[in-house]
Chains A and B, each alone.
Chain A
Amino acid sequence: MKTTLRQTLQSAVPFLLLANLCTAKTVTYDFNVTWVTANPDGLADRKVVGINGQWPLPIIEVEKGDQLVVNMHNGLDKASSIHFHGMYQNTTTEMDGPAYVTQCPVPPGMDITYNFTVNQNGTYWYHCHTEACYPDGYRQALLVHDKDAYFNENVEEEFTITLSDWYHRMTESIEPEFLSLYNPTGAEPIPQSFLFNDTLGTSISVQPGKKYLLRLINVGAFVAQYFYIEDHEFTIVEVDGIYTEPKVTDLIYISAAQRYTILLETKNSTDKNYPIVTVADSTLLDLIPSDLQLNHTDWLEYNKDAAHDEAVMKVEESSELVPADDAALVPYDRQALLPEPDLEITLSVVMDNLINGFGYAFFDNISYTHPKVPTLFTVMSAAEDQVSNAEIYGEFTHPIVLEHNQVVQIVLNNADTGSHPFHLHGHAFQVIDRYPPQGEHFYELADVAEPVEFDPNNHTAFPEYPIRRDTLVIPPQGYLVIRFVADNPGVWLFHCHIDWHLMQGLALTLIEAPDQIRERVKIPQNHYDVCSAAGVAVQGNAAGNTQDYLNLQGQPRQPAWLPAGFTPRGIVALTFTILAALLGLASIVIYGLSDLTYGKEDSSLAGDSQGPLEEPGSTPRETVEAKRN
């Protein structure tokens, strides 16, 4: 499956401009994925996922229109995969990367090839998409350069900045403590530090009076970050791969998986260096250990010899920072608000416990539990007349079948008191409503008793040209409303991009135009080989049943719900308890009543003066005398 026109790029090599600009080329990366040791925060050595023996990982760079080929060899001791975050994968849903959705997890020692055309532009990233994988460092930027970008004339040089939370322990060892009887509230693991370009305290060397393009990507697994540069304004020109009308601001909020591209014009003086400040969103953290540094300073370095002063924080809490509202951005292409939806999906985000006592996350009442057969393979292997029946994809993958070219609206009501960055694979969706809006009121519903739900009859006017993006943050106990056209046949996951919440099942599966998928998609032999190496079935419904696709006996399920009240076991126990108490009380009563015999004896003895004094009088004296003798 190797392409003949092949070009291996090393990570350090910047993107190459071929002489022939008009011809789309094929860009090939060979990734040998192995464990390496790294210490990006200077606090602890740890095992991280390296590519070709390196970490930080190579940035994938292509030109818009290129064919991207990634050959991955899994040299880890656990399954992995690659998801190219933000890629639409039009006609190539099988290259999307999430395990058990569009492919099988790639087992140790196995190779997989991803091969797709990049017909889009902007800032993306790639990361492992198997359970508990990418927080171990398996994530990096993916840049799609566009010679036609409207802002190109304002760019003299560009930089990529990745932000990330960082754990010192392996995700696979954190996971059993996170999904545990002893973590009933589902408190997310607290990172040990926050990285800036996979390190800390770096300087970006700039020249005065020059125009720069900065691509900001939060490649973290959990924590969102605020970003600003002291005494500098900048212009947002792209979010999640969508060019925006220029928007001048001085502070942005970047959740896990979100991207912002900004234009920055440097000052004319080289007197001082300016702190680039990143602040972790501490509202997401259940507790803040005293040794966890939430804000970091890196420098916009005008003058290598000038002082590199630490940023002076102006706020006590990160939530006091008021960033620009991303929902108020306007797409540069001015794509109008989509018409009224053909299909509306209303969902609640819920965190709850199941019978094992673990904390789970739910869309409504379903916590995503991966099927036996990856959903795409069920689409491909089912009978023609059954592919549009959501049932065959299993109850616990939360399947929703979309018809080709439907306008789909997802209303997401957040019943949880935390904010969540939701990501849709395969699409950039229009952001048409969100409450509370990003800004100073964003967290104001966090402590109210009842969440606020979207009311179709009473909401703020939808924007004329809604911004599109692929990852959007829902505020605590608020809601968001998004729209998109189901014009990209494929199997797409919609999920929270906090990796811990994905482990808890905060995901659902959109099966978009299954008939068209079968017409357009051909899963390469290599992907079938991966499945057979992984021992995962490639035919059948979610339960692996190849005979009767409607028979889901044996499908993977989420654990049972907690009983709401008394179970038979409880009733038996309570009955015996009451019986024991009653018998005990009866015994005490009987025992108590028998004391009355003493009472009678007593009254005969202790009669005040009427006691028979003479009679006994003689007997004791005899005894006394007898004793004296």
Chain B
Amino acid sequence: MGTNVFAVQLFFVCFRESLEASIIISVLLSFVKQCMGQPGQDPEIYKRLRRQIWLGSGVGALICLIIGGAFIGVFYGLGHDIWAQSEDLWEGIFYLIASIIITVMGLTLLRINKAKEKWRVKIAKSLLKNQEDGVPKHRLATWSRKYAMFILPFITVLREGLEAVVFIGGVSLGLPATAFPIPIITGFAAGLLIGYFVYRGGNVMSIQIFLIASTCVLYLISAGMFSKSVWSLEMYRFSKKTGGDVAESGTGPGSYDISSTVWHINCCSGELDHGWDVFNALLGWENTATYGSVLSYNFYWIFIIVSVWLMRYQERHGSIPGTRSMWKALAKVPGFRTRAAEALNGPTESDRDIIARVQASNFHGENKTATGVSTTAH
């Protein structure tokens, strides 16, 4: 297995993005089923909403495919030659972007259950507004309320998809086109499959373990990318100074800047030797480690560790030490007053209450919602 036919990063990117999208869709589906699909409720409405969800997802995916195709086409058609000239520079930049995206988005994967809950609340809130606000103030508001079940999956799929596109473009710089199809297809398939299991409710524990494992891999890739981005930028600087001699030097002496090297082995190049290129893709392996690449790799993990423990602390204790006093200070600044108050006092209504309210109001005020939707539909 070489990176020529299977780019591991691409697989994980596609997997992650499609999983996220499918989970949101599945939450929507089960929510709609729960609220509208009960016996005694109007099957027409339920069907219509379900159709909206699938339509939204489909249109989102389609637009995303078009944009993605164009993006990658431009990327390879126009840009590739220019970028190939200073490949190290562009690789450095794209790896940095990719690494930041994974870092920010990656941990949410571990909060699927929490995310499901959040989404449920979000949907519930939008439905409640629908009922409570009475006469809509203008058309756009009416429209967006009416097609909430279309817009939500549409936006979600579009967002995840574009993320994947940017990511594929960034990561795949320098990869041959043959490395694309298999990881992308399998990645999407795996993501959708897991999404389906989540929807079906399956074994929560084994899904979670799977998610943890894949998140671990994702972060290994990301740490490697971060380090590689530093490495590439350094290499760019070095090869620029050497006037391009480095590229032809293979793995031996002269292919690296000895003055900033922590270790170098004259083999096992992550770019030239087969087998090692998988390590390069997964862990960012290079046969030359510079101070920059080693330190950035370590600092990346330290950052991840600190972030994870802060998030955990916040979940357990409601806030991170020191943030309360920060918000208090901000509360005195005019522009931040509302936001600070919100952060300090927390939501007025508990999530659990909102969900319960929706379930209740739907159950009891069934006709109201139903007629509301059907009349505007005419």
Please list the residues of chain A having a beta carbon within 8 angstroms of any beta carbon in chain B.
Answer: 181-185, 187, 286, 352-353, 355-357, 359, 562-567, 569-571, 573-574, 576-577, 580-581, 583-585, 587-596, 598-599, 601-603, 605-606, 608-609, 611, 613, 616-621, 623-624
**By the criterion CB–CB under 8 Å, are A183 and B266 in contact?**
no
| Residue B298 lies at the interface, judged by CB distance under 8 Å to chain A | yes
Q: What are 22 A-B interface contacts by the 8 Å CB criterion?
A: A187-B245, A357-B258, A562-B253, A566-B263, A569-B262, A569-B263, A580-B302, A584-B301, A587-B308, A588-B110, A588-B212, A592-B215, A593-B208, A596-B205, A598-B116, A599-B204, A601-B117, A602-B116, A605-B117, A606-B120, A613-B363, A623-B353
Set B241, B262, B311, B315: member contacting A570, Cβ < 8 A: B262
Q: Contacts A182-B242, A562-B253 known; list 8 others, CB within 8 Å.
A: A573-B263, A576-B298, A583-B305, A588-B110, A602-B117, A611-B359, A613-B359, A617-B360
| Residue B65 lies at the interface, judged by CB distance under 8 Å to chain A | no
| Residue B356 lies at the interface, judged by CB distance under 8 Å to chain A | yes
With A353-B253, A573-B262, A596-B205 already in contact, the answer to whether A606 and B30 are too (CB < 8 A) is yes
| Residue B114 lies at the interface, judged by CB distance under 8 Å to chain A | yes
**By the criterion CB–CB under 8 Å, are A181 and B258 in contact?**
yes
**By the criterion CB–CB under 8 Å, are B208 and A619 in contact?**
no
Find chain B residues with CB under 8 A from A599 CB. 113, 204, 208
| Residue B97 lies at the interface, judged by CB distance under 8 Å to chain A | no
* Listed residue (A570, A580, A611) with the most chain B CB atoms within 10 angstroms of its CB: A580
| Residue B186 lies at the interface, judged by CB distance under 8 Å to chain A | no
**By the criterion CB–CB under 8 Å, are B259 and A181 in contact?**
yes
Find chain B residues with CB under 8 A from A566 CB. 263, 265
With A570-B262, A581-B220, A583-B305 already in contact, the answer to whether A183 and B245 are too (CB < 8 A) is yes
CA distance A594 to B208 in the complex (A): 10
Closest CB in chain B relative to A629 CB, distance in Å: 13
Residue of A nearest to B111 (CB): A595
Find chain B residues with CB under 8 A from A181 CB. 257-259
Find chain B residues with CB under 8 A from A570 CB. 262-263, 289
| Residue B326 lies at the interface, judged by CB distance under 8 Å to chain A | no
Set B208, B242, B304: member contacting A595, Cβ < 8 A: B208
CA distance A135 to B302 in the complex (A): 55
With A184-B245, A584-B305, A616-B360 already in contact, the answer to whether A592 and B265 are too (CB < 8 A) is no
Find chain B residues with CB under 8 A from A619 CB. 353, 356
CA distance A182 to B260 in the complex (A): 12
Find chain A residues with CB under 8 A from B356 CB. 616-617, 619-620
**By the criterion CB–CB under 8 Å, are B311 and A591 in contact?**
yes
Closest CB in chain A relative to B150 CB, distance in Å: 22
Find chain B residues with CB under 8 A from A357 CB. 254, 257-259
Find chain A residues with CB under 8 A from B114 CB. 595, 598
Q: Using a CB-CB cutoff of 8 Å, which residues 138-155 of chain B contact chain A? A: none
Set A356, A584, A594, A617: member contacting B363, Cβ < 8 A: A617
Q: Using a CB-CB cutoff of 8 Å, which residues 196-254 of chain B contact chain A? A: 201, 204-205, 208, 211-212, 215-216, 219-220, 223, 238, 241-243, 245-246, 248-249, 253-254
CA distance A589 to B110 in the complex (A): 9
With A185-B249, A616-B356, A617-B364 already in contact, the answer to whether A355 and B258 are too (CB < 8 A) is yes
**By the criterion CB–CB under 8 Å, are A577 and B298 in contact?**
yes
Residue of A nearest to B116 (CB): A602
Closest CB in chain B relative to A289 CB, distance in Å: 12
Closest CB in chain B relative to A504 CB, distance in Å: 13
The main secondary structure of chain B at its interface with chain A is helix
**By the criterion CB–CB under 8 Å, are A598 and B117 in contact?**
yes
Closest CB in chain B relative to A622 CB, distance in Å: 10
| Residue B264 lies at the interface, judged by CB distance under 8 Å to chain A | yes
CA distance A605 to B242 in the complex (A): 64
| Residue B255 lies at the interface, judged by CB distance under 8 Å to chain A | yes
Find chain A residues with CB under 8 A from B223 CB. 581, 584
CA distance A436 to B359 in the complex (A): 91
Interface string of B322-334 (1 = CB under 8 A from A): 0000000000000
CA distance A115 to B112 in the complex (A): 93
Residue of B nearest to A580 (CB): B301
CA distance A353 to B254 in the complex (A): 7
Q: Using a CB-CB cutoff of 8 Å, which residues 273-326 of chain B contact chain A? A: 289, 294, 297-298, 301-302, 304-305, 308-309, 311-312, 315
CA distance A589 to B218 in the complex (A): 12
CA distance A183 to B253 in the complex (A): 11
Find chain B residues with CB under 8 A from A606 CB. 30, 34, 116, 120
Set B204, B243, B311, B353: member contacting A620, Cβ < 8 A: B353
Q: Using a CB-CB cutoff of 8 Å, which residues 100-123 of chain B contact chain A? A: 107, 110-114, 116-117, 120
Closest CB in chain A relative to B218 CB, distance in Å: 9
**By the criterion CB–CB under 8 Å, are A185 and B110 in contact?**
no
Set B113, B249, B312: member contacting A184, Cβ < 8 A: B249
Residue of B nearest to A601 (CB): B117
Set A564, A585, A620: member contacting B216, Cβ < 8 A: A585
Find chain B residues with CB under 8 A from A621 CB. 357, 360-361, 364
**By the criterion CB–CB under 8 Å, are A590 and B312 in contact?**
yes
**By the criterion CB–CB under 8 Å, are B113 and A596 in contact?**
yes
Set A182, A183, A359, A620: member contacting B361, Cβ < 8 A: A620
Residue of B nearest to A589 (CB): B212
Closest CB in chain B relative to A178 CB, distance in Å: 12
Find chain B residues with CB under 8 A from A569 CB. 262-263
**By the criterion CB–CB under 8 Å, are B208 and A562 in contact?**
no
| Residue B51 lies at the interface, judged by CB distance under 8 Å to chain A | no
| Residue B59 lies at the interface, judged by CB distance under 8 Å to chain A | no
Closest CB in chain B relative to A449 CB, distance in Å: 12
| Residue B47 lies at the interface, judged by CB distance under 8 Å to chain A | no
Closest CB in chain A relative to B224 CB, distance in Å: 9
Find chain A residues with CB under 8 A from B238 CB. 182
**By the criterion CB–CB under 8 Å, are A577 and B208 in contact?**
no
**By the criterion CB–CB under 8 Å, are A594 and B263 in contact?**
no
Set A567, A580, A591: member contacting B297, Cβ < 8 A: A580
**By the criterion CB–CB under 8 Å, are B363 and A587 in contact?**
no
Find chain B residues with CB under 8 A from A609 CB. 34, 38
**By the criterion CB–CB under 8 Å, are A608 and B33 in contact?**
yes
Find chain A residues with CB under 8 A from B357 CB. 616, 620-621, 623-624
CA distance A404 to B309 in the complex (A): 81
With A184-B253, A601-B117, A605-B352 already in contact, the answer to whether A595 and B258 are too (CB < 8 A) is no
**By the criterion CB–CB under 8 Å, are A624 and B117 in contact?**
no
CA distance A42 to B242 in the complex (A): 30
Find chain A residues with CB under 8 A from B298 CB. 576-577, 580
Set B30, B215, B253, B301: member contacting A583, Cβ < 8 A: B301
Closest CB in chain A relative to B32 CB, distance in Å: 12
Set A563, A564, A595: member contacting B113, Cβ < 8 A: A595
Find chain B residues with CB under 8 A from A605 CB. 117, 120, 352, 355
Closest CB in chain A relative to B272 CB, distance in Å: 15
Closest CB in chain B relative to A589 CB, distance in Å: 5
With A184-B249, A353-B258 already in contact, the answer to whether A565 and B301 are too (CB < 8 A) is no
Find chain B residues with CB under 8 A from A183 CB. 242-243, 245
Find chain B residues with CB under 8 A from A594 CB. 312, 315
Closest CB in chain B relative to A251 CB, distance in Å: 32
Closest CB in chain B relative to A533 CB, distance in Å: 37
**By the criterion CB–CB under 8 Å, are B266 and A564 in contact?**
yes
Closest CB in chain B relative to A598 CB, distance in Å: 4
Find chain A residues with CB under 8 A from B117 CB. 598, 601-602, 605
CA distance A613 to B294 in the complex (A): 57
CA distance A89 to B188 in the complex (A): 82
**By the criterion CB–CB under 8 Å, are A596 and B208 in contact?**
yes
CA distance A581 to B220 in the complex (A): 7
**By the criterion CB–CB under 8 Å, are B359 and A587 in contact?**
no
Q: Using a CB-CB cutoff of 8 Å, which residues 335-353 of chain B contact chain A? A: 349, 352-353
CA distance A286 to B249 in the complex (A): 13
With A183-B245, A184-B253, A562-B258 already in contact, the answer to whether A588 and B353 are too (CB < 8 A) is no
